[in-house]
Amino acid sequence: MPEETALVTPPDPSAVPPDGLTVVEMWTDGACKGNPGPGGWGVLMRSKGKEKELFGGDPTTTNNRMELTAVIEGLRALNRPCDVTLHVDSSYVMNGMKSWIAGWKRNGWRTKDKKPVKNVELWQALDAEVARHQVRWVWVKGHAGDPGNERADQLANKGVDLVRDAARRA
């Protein structure tokens, strides 16, 4: 998937758009060791010169579920509507939001082949979170040197470590 070219320069994080929404730049990533297996998600947010990092995990999950969870948790952490530039390296999330979700909703959360959408509860949660914000989707190639994406990846792997450590202590 080619990089989004509509966003030539990153938005000024201190700028307030005309509608008064806070500008947030966000990078999300998911990781899974085995598919399924222990997984983690990570989020890096920047706004008004400040950074916030989030991460978590699930002992038995898939990479796609962690990619979706990262975006959901990042948007959910915003306590009011924001103008969000969301950087993702997941073609699954990007295609889902840009190409598939409108048809799924129109078809009662079924694919064009009339099969139930996989991870429907996460797609519905993501749809609800996106509706609260103005979101610009930017696809970035994973592991290609984008500093925000690299940090989100580190956080996702920290989430994997969190659930692995919890499993060892149990």
Q: Is 71 inside any structural domain?
A: yes
What is the model's pTM? Answer: 0.89
Residue 19 pLDDT? 74
The tens place of each residue's pLDDT in the chain, 170 residues long, gives 333 323 333 444 555 565 789 999 999 999 999 999 999 999 999 999 999 999 999 999 999 999 999 999 999 999 999 999 999 999 999 999 999 999 999 999 999 999 999 999 999 999 999 999 999 999 999 989 999 999 999 999 999 999 999 889 98
Give the catalytic positions in this structure: 29-30, 67, 89, 143, 153
Confirm or deny that 29 is annotated as ligand binding: yes
Q: Is 42 inside any structural domain?
A: yes
Q: What is the CATH number of the domain that holds 74?
A: 3.30.420.10
In the chain, the number of structural domains is: 1
Confirm or deny that 83 is annotated as ligand binding: no
Burial 2-31 (b: 16+ CB within 10 A, else e): eebeeeeeeeebeeeeeeeebbbbbbbbbb
Q: Is 95 inside any structural domain?
A: yes
Residue 11 pLDDT? 46
Range of the domain at 101: 23-46+53-169
Q: Is 1 inside any structural domain?
A: no
Q: Is 69 inside any structural domain?
A: yes
Residue 6 pLDDT? 32
Confirm or deny that 53 is annotated as ligand binding: no
Confirm or deny that 129 is annotated as ligand binding: no
